[in-house]
Amino acid sequence: MTARHLISLDDLTDDELRYLAARGASFSAGLAPQERPLDGAVIGVYFRKTSTRTRTAFSAGAQRLGGQIVAFGPDDLQLNTGETTEDTGQVFSRMLDVLVARTAGDPEELRGWAGQDRMAVVNAMSADEHPTQALTDLTTLLRQFGRIDGLRVLYVGEGNNTAAALALALSRFPGTYLELRTPAGYGLTEDVLARVAASCARSGAEVVELHHMDGQSAGFDAIYTSRWQTTGTSKPDPDWRAAFDPFKVTPVLWLHSPHAVFMHDLPAHRGEEVDAEVLDGVHSIAFDQAANKMYSAMAVLEWCRTGVAVSDEATAGQAVAG
């Protein structure tokens, strides 16, 4: 079987995207068969940058599905002594079945590892996109609402790799509306906006980006933020916090969307991007969202390893809310 890679959400068809969200929701709801599709498989987990949720999710998820883990730290590989990415990938592919990697850098490095057909490669976060976070978010929305089509989501904060992946994912679902409120100079890149616009034109979704917090919109199903200092990055402007301060998530946002749930990819800094009253309040599903990262990881690993067809289950999971 030719290995399946997940470097970008663009690598997935619409059916595959729906399937992975639905499969993650099925795992989360306890509805998936108790099988061990990774029996005999060895999963490499390589994180060059810090991680709590994603690393634990893929490690625990692989073991729950019967796989074995080989973990690498940022200083463990001969990449540090000059070995090429391609050579490392060729070696890995003869020993591992799946490589889950967080580089927080150029995704082309992951493409280099994926330049073979023996070992699947999963992007656990690169500088431009966090595709497995988006799959977690879709799984969470599906669990919460029983659907993704037609949902209204407000994202507030930096247009980082989490926001990019969220926009690339939601723009594929008909009737979905995503409004991003990002500080000027810290929004989505032109490349991401172009890809999102193309998906919207095809699906009928709508994605809008505004660089202010004036004129609050209403009727959102979910309000989402992420930390202002993305893992592995820094901001050149020493006064960047002044631009971000108006974009803090506070209870005021619920005045016009009283039933909205609150989502956060974590880690969170209470009092910075979000008030503690929101993160720890009745609307927050942030920690359920974190738990779904493992179930989403299980769906990705199963899909990469087994080559499961998606046609029969592409729209499955619509009844897994709760």
Region 308-321: mean pLDDT is: 53
C-alpha 80/C-alpha 238 separation (Å) is: 31
95 and 114 co-located in one domain: yes
Region 128-149: mean pLDDT is: 97
What is the reported pLDDT for 104?
73
153 and 118 co-located in one domain: no
In the β-sheet with 42-47, what is the strand arrangement from edge to edge? 68-72, 42-47, 98-102, 120-123
162 and 105 co-located in one domain: no
Q: Please classify residue 255 by burial: count the beta carbons closer than 10 Å to its beta carbon, then call 0-12 exposed, 13-18 middle and 19+ buried.
A: exposed
In a domain, 312, yes or no: no
Model confidence at 316: pLDDT above 80: no
In a domain, 167, yes or no: yes
C-alpha 282/C-alpha 320 separation (Å) is: 21
Cβ neighbours for 159, distance < 8 A, ≥ 6 positions apart: 180, 182, 186, 187, 188, 189, 192, 209
In a domain, 284, yes or no: yes
pLDDT digits (tens, 9 = 90+) for 184-235: 999 999 999 999 999 999 999 999 999 999 998 999 999 999 999 876 667 8
Cβ count within 10 A of residue 307: 12
Give the domain CATH number at 158: 3.40.50.1370
38 and 180 co-located in one domain: no
In a domain, 207, yes or no: yes
60 closest CA partner among 77, 43, 46, 73: 43
49 and 197 co-located in one domain: no
Residue 32 DSSP one-character state? S
Confidence of residue 321 (pLDDT cuts 50, 70, 90): low
Confidence of residue 79 (pLDDT cuts 50, 70, 90): confident
In a domain, 251, yes or no: yes
- pTM for the full model? 0.94
278 and 168 co-located in one domain: yes
94 and 154 co-located in one domain: no
- Note down the domain range covering 56: 9-129+293-306
Model confidence at 46: pLDDT above 80: yes
What is the reported pLDDT for 1?
63
200 and 302 co-located in one domain: no
Q: How many domains in the chain? A: 2
Region 24-39: mean pLDDT is: 93
Model confidence at 312: pLDDT above 60: no
pLDDT digits (tens, 9 = 90+) for 151-184: 999 999 999 999 999 999 999 999 999 999 999 9
CA of residue 22 relative to chain centroid, distance? 15
What is the reported pLDDT for 89?
87
143 and 81 co-located in one domain: no
> Residue 114 has which token pair?
């994926």
In a domain, 169, yes or no: yes
87 and 172 co-located in one domain: no
Model confidence at 145: pLDDT above 90: yes
Model confidence at 302: pLDDT above 90: yes
User: What SS3 class is residue 296?
Assistant: helix
107 and 149 co-located in one domain: no
